[in-house]
Structure formats: C-alpha cells, structure tokens
Amino acid sequence: MTDIERHPYDVVVIGAGGAGLRAAIEAREQGKRTAIVCKSLFGKAHTVMAEGGAAAAMGNVNPKDNWQVHFRDTMRGGKFLNHWRMAELHAKEAPDRVWELETYGALFDRTKDGKISQRNFGGHEYPRLAHVGDRTGLELIRTLQQKIVSLQQEDLALHGDAEAYLKVFAECTITTLTKDGDRISGAFGYWRESGSFILFETPAVVLATGGIGKSYKVTSNSWEYSGDGHALALRAGATLVNMEFIQFHPTGMVWPPSVKGILVTESVRGDGGVLRNSEGKRFMFEYIPAVFKAQYATSEEEADRWYADPDNNKRPPELLPRDEVARAINSEVKAGRGSPAGGVFLDVSTRLPAEEIRRRLPSMYHQFKELADVDITAEPMEVGPTCHYVMGGVEVDPDTAAAKVPGLFAAGEVAGGMHGSNRLGGNSLSDLLVFGRRAGAAAAAYVDAIGPDRPPIAEDQVAAATTEALAPLTGVAGENPYTVQSDLQQTMNDLVGIIRREHEIVEALGKLETFKERAKRVTAEGDRPFNPGWHVALDLRNLLLISECVAKAALERTESRGGHTREDYPKMDPVWRQENLICSVDGDQVTITHQPLPVMPTELLSLFEKEELSKYMTTDELSTLDTTAGEGGRP
Amino acid sequence: MTYKAEFRVWRSAGANTSDGALVDYTVEVNEGEVVLDIIHRLQATQAGDLAVRWNCKAGKCGSCSAEVNGKPRLLCMTRMSTFGEDEVITVTPLRAFPVIRDLVTDVSYNYTKARQIPAFTPPAGVAPGEYRMQQIDVERSQEFRKCIECFLCQNTCHVVRDHEENKPAFAGPRFFIRAAELDMHPLDAREDRKDFAQREQGMGMCNITKCCTEVCPEHIKITDNAIIPMKERVVDTKYDPLVWLGSKIFRRS
C-alpha cells in the first residue's frame, strides 16, 4: 500500500456543505488540525440550493417570537417524533449561530430598523427565516467558505502555511471508514481528478454528507446526494434512526421533463403565492388536518388578511407543513384536477406586483424564465412533489452529535432525530449551523480526551478498501452502472414514494435484492482519472444500502406520520409515536429494531396545551401527564 | 419533438483518442432539454467515462461551466431549443484553464486568488446580534454576493484568456467584485480595499471591455457596478491633479 498518499489529521470532516464547514471552523478554532473532504469543488455543496432561509427566533419582525415558540413549531412539524433535546438546542442556539454569520461577513436582507429581516414560512408561527432574497443557501455557503479562507489567512501569517491547520481536499470522495477495534481510525477514499487513493489517519470523523435524494428519480438533490455518510456510518457499526421519513417538497418543477424535480422555493407561498387546481380552486382549504385546525384560516378572505394582519387572522393553509401540502397536491392530481404536465398551479402573478416578485424571488423568476419559458410575474407555475430531504439519519447524542461509534460524529441532514417525521422549511440551515458547530467542538474534545493514544491504521482494512474501490474497473464486461442506478431510482419513486402500500414496499425490497446482485457485477469503461462511470458504480453501493433501510423501515411502520404515508394505515397512531425504528447492518443485511423515543421533560411538555398533546399521545401517556404536569397548559 | 442532434465534444487523450480531439456523436434530444442533459445522455449510453462537472442542474452552483459553440456558458442553463435541429453543437472545456480531462478544467487559479484578498474585517466593539445596516446599503454588496463562482467571467476575460503570463498579477473580474463587495460592505473595518485592488489585484490591467458582464449568468453588472466605481475612486485619490499638486507642495504622500 505504499502508493497511497497518507495524511494525519486530528479531525476529518466529510462534506463541505453548511454543516461540514461549520464543524471544520469549530474544530480549527479549538486548535485542531482539520481536513475538509469535499466531493465537489469547494463552495458547490448542496447547501447552495437552499432558498428560503435559516429559521431562528430572533424576534426581529415579530417580538413575540422566542425559542419556546420555535421549539413548539418544530415539534408540531415533526408530529412529535423529534428528539426533544435536539429540537430544544436548535431553537435555543439558532439565533446566535445566525448572528455569528454576520461577523463572518454575511449580508442578510434587513428590517427597517436595520436588523436581520425574517420571513414567513410553512409551519412557523411568526416570521422567522433570516434570508437573502431566495438565495439564502448561497449566502450561507459563501460566508462559511470565506470564513475558512480568513482562518487560513491567519494561519499563513502565524505559521507561514495557509493550510497548516485547515485544509480543503476538493473533489475527493471517501468510500470507507477504517477502525481500530471499536473506534474510528481513519478514512479512505479517492481523488476524483486522478483516481488515485488517499488515506486520512484520524481519530475523529465528522460526517456532514447530506442526504439520499439520488435514490429517487424525481428529486431536488444533485448527484452527490447518494447517502454516503449514512452508508459509511452503518458500515462502521453506527445506527440510523427514522429512515422511513422522507420529505417530498410539495413544489418542484414538473415541466420541462429534464428539470422535473428542481425546487421551487416555499418562499413563493410565504410571500403570498397560492395553489390552485385545474378548476381554479384554492384547494388547500380542503386539506387542513384536525391537528392543525386551530392555526389555519378556513376562508380565502381570512387567509388573505393574514399577510397584512397576522395577529388577528389565521394563516393560509398553503403554509401548512410540507408533508401536508405534498399529499394534498398528490390527491388533487390523482383526482384528475391537475395541470397539463401533471402538477398543480402555483400562482404569485396575481398576488404581487411584477417588480416585487422580481425583487423578492429573483432566482425563481430567473429559473422559470430560463428553463421553462414561464414568466412568473405574468402566469402561474406548474409544480408537484419532489424528493427533497431525509429526516432520518445517523443516530446521535443531541449535545455532542456523537454517533454510537467512538470518534464518529454526524451533523446536518446526515444526522437523524432533530426533525422527527417531517422537517419545517428553514430549520435545515439553522440545524446545520447549530449541530455543525456542536459536532466540531465535540470532535475536538474527543481528540483531547484520547490524548496520545491515537488509533493505528489496520493495513488489511486499507487493502480491502482498495480492492473494493477498484472492483468496477477490474471486472470484465459487466452491466452499465447507470442502468442499475436508474432502475433503482425508478423503483424507489414508484414503490416507496410519497404514498406507500405494503405490497409495493415488499415488491421494492425484492427488486432491491436483484439490484444488489447486479451492482456486484457492474463495470465502468475507461480508466481512473475523472471517470464518472466509475464514481456512479461506487456511489451505487451506498444508494442500495440506504434504499433498503428506507424500504424496510417504511414496511415496519404501520401508520402514517409526516414524511411517511401508508395508504393501508392512513391514521397517525399514538402508540407508534413512542417508537423509533433503528437500522443497523450486519454484512450486507439491514436489520430494523424498535427503540423507545426519549421522553420529553415536563417543563417542555408544559409549553403545549393538553388538548393539543391529546392528539398525539396515548391515553396512558396523558394520564401520566396529569399526575406530573398538573394542567399541562402553557404559560 | 424528439430528434437526433450532432454533437462535437472535446475528449482528452485516452481510450477514444490518442491525442485529445473533438469527437462526433449523434444523440437523442427531447423537448425542453438543456445541453447538460445531452452530455448526461452521452455518459449513460455512449461514453460512460466522459468527464463533466455538474451539481445542482439549476444554475445555482456554477459547476458546469464550459464553452458551447465557443461561448462560455453554464451547460445546465443552455437550452437545446436555442439551436437549430440541424446545427452541429460543439462543447469544449473552458479555454483559460488547464484541461484535467474532457470538459473538466483545473480552476485552482481562482481559489488561489480568493485566498489573497484580505477577509471581511468585523467592526471593533460591535457584538454579534448588534449589527445594524439599512437594506439600501447592503443591496450594493448583495449584487456581488449573487456570484455563483462559475468562473465564466474569469474564462472570458481577455487579460488572461490567452495570456497565461498575466495570471500571477491579475485576480480577474470575480475577485474585483469581491473587492468591491467588501469595499461597499457597510460594516467592513478595512479602508484600503480600492488601493489593494489596484496595487495587488491588477485591476489597472482591466480596460473595461465588459466581456465579463456579458457572460455572467447571474447578470451581475461586473464592469459598471464594481470595476468602474472602484477604478474611479482609485483615480480620485491617485491621479487627481490637485491632490498631486498638493502632495508636491506640502510634501504629503
């Protein structure tokens, strides 16, 4: 193995989106030599696609907002399946994390008194999203990227080497984590450009690899989203939680076919856009579920008054949490009231002046104009659900982001628990800042704690990783990896998609077994430098493993909640709310186990009215509540 | 709507060509597709190892920059309907940067230049959460922060496009707007952004042909709103005849 370049580091962060960059900044600020490994070029990660904003209860627009209200909204959005401690930390720390970005140079849109402006979004009681037009993710990634550059400039001045403490390994993909006994010892991967291998010798790895969207055909996610971190964690012996919960964003583009799935920001609705079916009806009023009746308007008049007077009117049902809106659109299309291209109409043109639309939604205006020849200031958009986000992910300790394997941490989309069964828009950008920082800090603390007892690299693991990575190039005339990938995406889309049925999930699991066999025999033409066919073949292993987790968990959970809808079990079941489904892997077999959901402490439970809790909890839970929490009413 | 298009794509030396050459492909095109869709179809059906960079496929990440019929473009935002069905479409890598393979170039020049610009310097004594700025004041810098770092402006700029020798001294339009952005940032504590752009970034080599503005997919007015104002203010202080005279008389400098 002498031809493999080796790099010793204190902390290796895999992924260079918001969570990874924030984790790396923290680890470096704690004095650790930190590597950032990014699958693409530096600054291109999927965070740039985030449009709406970062949710943080700063109270700049409505002073009634505070962390308790944000916590409550997050739990409601997740249908009370969230890990309460993550939701609590997130709501408490998000404002500091957003303000901190200003000290790195971020320029958010402003209120009249010069503070950070905040916008309305689905499921958030008050205007809460710090934003920059509809390109907030770009601002976030660029700000963090520039902060890293500034830390490198400090290191250059101090040590004569900009990369002494913080180095970006761009276009580099990790395929295996190595271990020393139970604990992490390193990360093995390849350079995209040359195809040569690289080994990081490190006691601490922070996974910040994002999601799994590429296991679906219609997705807002890019090619990078192949569940790498989820799969690396599983294979290293860690566990995943809540993998059945996948968020289908209600509004993706549906036409032209080549852009199907590309995101249309929720800000369109936050800023006044409405959903109509082919009969011109604002159908969302028909789809307000019982648990949300108290918070949403029942007439168009009231909904329209809310934009100007939110204190005395209820919010429009277009701003229900994403799972509700996605299912509603799905039902309308199924009932034959869809748009010509198989979506529904999203109209902002009759709601705001053209100039205002171009100012508030510049990238949407641009996107529709350039890709679909649609002028959104003059006509409605056609939109439909698209696979957007996985709520499930690596099971972590809320305070430290530590996975079950010593030395392994996870933050951002790759981590599970924070969002329960459904994530609220805007809670992702704040999540990755809050838990990115915590993961970086905890990784640094872990390195301090082990001191000189650094885990050695087991050379046989490196040799095995090399053989495995080279397999698609050394095999003879096997199947084209693109074909298997595309069949997998179609299967997940058709059979484990937005609405699920037992027999279809079983069918999908059967197909997954055949894909696994086919994947063993795929071969890529060409050689190692920048060979996309080879990369697809390697990503395929991760996609398959993660798809199996999703399908098995989806089969097991016989209820409908958030991002998991079972047509054969359409009701939300309070008994299931007490259950987390945990995925682990043994060999190449995924096993699902039940684990009780951590119980929320009384002081947080008391933020909710008992009447609301009764919609989610079992009678047993409610009676315990009576004895411990008294009235259970919020202050 | 489906038709067969003729594509000519740059392939590096390898299995297909011994020396790097334009290779002809006939490939299916469907309604609404963009050039990147066609490149992906080539990968999936005819050329599995054809290298191309891409991520978001929505014009937001700036990864898929290349040249289509000689024009610097984002492949994901170049619609096939802008070409005639009988038109041969030539796709080549960015010319100003060394080719790594096929359509992928080594853009590290840009990351090197990025690291040479002094970072945002926070105002002393203003705590996080206490930053106050007016919308009208942040908007000027926000225009430049729309930049998706596709580097098309860097690629098209004639100062470096065919003049490798100018690269060490010239940061390029992307980094002039970065300098302008920091200069116009209401709370940046550094005062020497303009001088720095002139002295260290080689802004003086720009002769305002506006090619960068023309190719910017974000429609940032690079020349009018960043370079020209920066140059004017540099001129104000550096070449103002009265200031010059004053400096001679009073020996200021």
Domains and CATH numbers, chain B: 2-104 (3.10.20.30), 108-252 (1.10.1060.10)
User: Is A39 in contact with A532 (CB distance < 8 Å)?
Assistant: no
Nearest to A526 among B14, B60, B133 (CB): B14
Q: Give the closest-approach CA distance of A334 to chain B in angstroms.
A: 25
pLDDT of residue A526: 86
Q: Is the pLDDT of residue B244 over 70?
A: no
**Torsion sign across C-alpha atoms A567, A570, A575, A576:** positive
Q: Is the pLDDT of residue A149 over 80?
A: yes
Which of A44, A117, A168, A191 to substitute to test the interface with B, most B CBs within 10 Å?
A44
User: Is B158 in contact with B214 (CB distance < 8 Å)?
Assistant: no
String of DSSP letters for A115-162:
SB-EE--TT-SS--EE-STT-HHHHHHHHHHHHHHHHHHHHHHHHS-T
Question: Over the stretch A382-422, which tens digit does the pLDDT of each residue have?
Answer: 999 999 999 999 999 999 999 999 999 999 999 999 999 99
Nearest to B119 among A150, A222, A531 (CB): A150
Which of A365, A473, A530 to substitute to test the interface with B, most B CBs within 10 Å?
A530
Nearest to B122 among A103, A152, A482 (CB): A103
The residue of chain A nearest to residue B127, with distances taken between CA atoms, is A103
Q: Is A90 helix (H, G, I), strand (E, B) or coil?
A: helix
**For a pLDDT cut of 70, what percent of chain A falls above it?**
98
Contact check, Cβ <8 Å, A532/B134: no
**Tokens (6 digits) for B105:** 């170039």
The residue of chain A nearest to residue B63, with distances taken between CA atoms, is A44
Strands A34-38 and A166-170: parallel
**Tokens (6 digits) for B207:** 């002769």
Q: Is A309 exposed, middle or buried (0-12, 13-18, 19+ CB in 10 A)?
A: exposed
B window 25-84, beta carbon within 8 A of A: 30-34, 37, 43-44, 48-63, 77, 79
Kindly list the residues from chain A whose CB atom is less than 8 angstroms away from the CB atom of residue B147: 142
pLDDT of residue B198: 92
Contact check, Cβ <8 Å, B145/A367: no
User: Is A487 in contact with A515 (CB distance < 8 Å)?
Assistant: yes
Q: Give the closest-approach CA distance of A431 to chain B in angstroms.
A: 19
User: Is A119 in contact with A133 (CB distance < 8 Å)?
Assistant: no
The rounded distance, in Å, linking the Cα atoms of A312 and A307 is 10
The rounded distance, in Å, linking the Cα atoms of A134 and B59 is 13
**Tokens (6 digits) for A466:** 């090399």
**Torsion sign across C-alpha atoms B17, B22, B25, B29:** positive
Predicted-assembly ipTM surpassing the 0.85 threshold: yes
Kindly list the residues from chain A whose CB atom is less than 8 angstroms away from the CB atom of residue B77: 370-371
Q: Is the pLDDT of residue B237 over 80?
A: no
pLDDT of residue A475: 82
Kindly list the residues from chain B whose CB atom is less than 8 angstroms away from the CB atom of residue A371: 32, 34, 58-59, 77, 79
Q: Is A179 helix (H, G, I), strand (E, B) or coil?
A: strand
The residue of chain A nearest to residue B38, with distances taken between CA atoms, is A258
Kindly list the residues from chain B whose CB atom is less than 8 angstroms away from the CB atom of residue A223: 54-55
State the catalytic residues of A. Answer: 249, 269
**Calculated CA dihedral for residues A474, A481, B92, B203, nearest 10 degrees:** -90
Q: Which amino acid is at B169?
A: A
Q: Is the pLDDT of residue A631 over 50?
A: no
What pTM does this model have?
A: 0.94
The residue assigned the tokens 């010319």 is B95
B window 188-217, beta carbon within 8 A of A: 188
User: What band does B110 get if pLDDT is binned at 50, 70 and 90?
Assistant: very high
Nearest to A524 among B48, B52, B101 (CB): B48
User: What band does B17 get if pLDDT is binned at 50, 70 and 90?
Assistant: low
User: What band does A223 get if pLDDT is binned at 50, 70 and 90?
Assistant: confident
Question: Over the stretch A84-137, which tens digit does the pLDDT of each residue have?
Answer: 999 999 999 999 999 999 999 999 999 999 999 999 999 999 999 999 998 999
Q: Is the pLDDT of residue B15 over 80?
A: no
Q: What is the mean pLDDT of chain A?
A: 95
Taking phi over 0 as left and psi of -120 to 50 as alpha, with beta for the rest, A5 belongs to beta
User: What band does A208 get if pLDDT is binned at 50, 70 and 90?
Assistant: very high
**Calculated CA dihedral for residues A212, A216, A221, A225, nearest 10 degrees:** 30
Question: What is the mean pLDDT of the segment spanning B112-116?
Answer: 96
Question: What is the mean pLDDT of the segment spanning B30-57?
Answer: 93
pLDDT of residue B13: 85
- How many Cβ atoms from other residues are within 10 Å of residue A141's Cβ? 26
Question: What is the mean pLDDT of the segment spanning B4-13?
Answer: 95
Q: Is the pLDDT of residue A227 over 80?
A: yes
pLDDT of residue A510: 98
Question: Over the stretch B175-229, which tens digit does the pLDDT of each residue have?
Answer: 999 999 999 999 999 999 999 999 999 999 999 999 999 999 999 999 999 999 9
Nearest to B134 among A49, A110, A372 (CB): A110
Angstrom distances, CA of residue A6 to CA of A198, A199, A462: 6, 5, 11
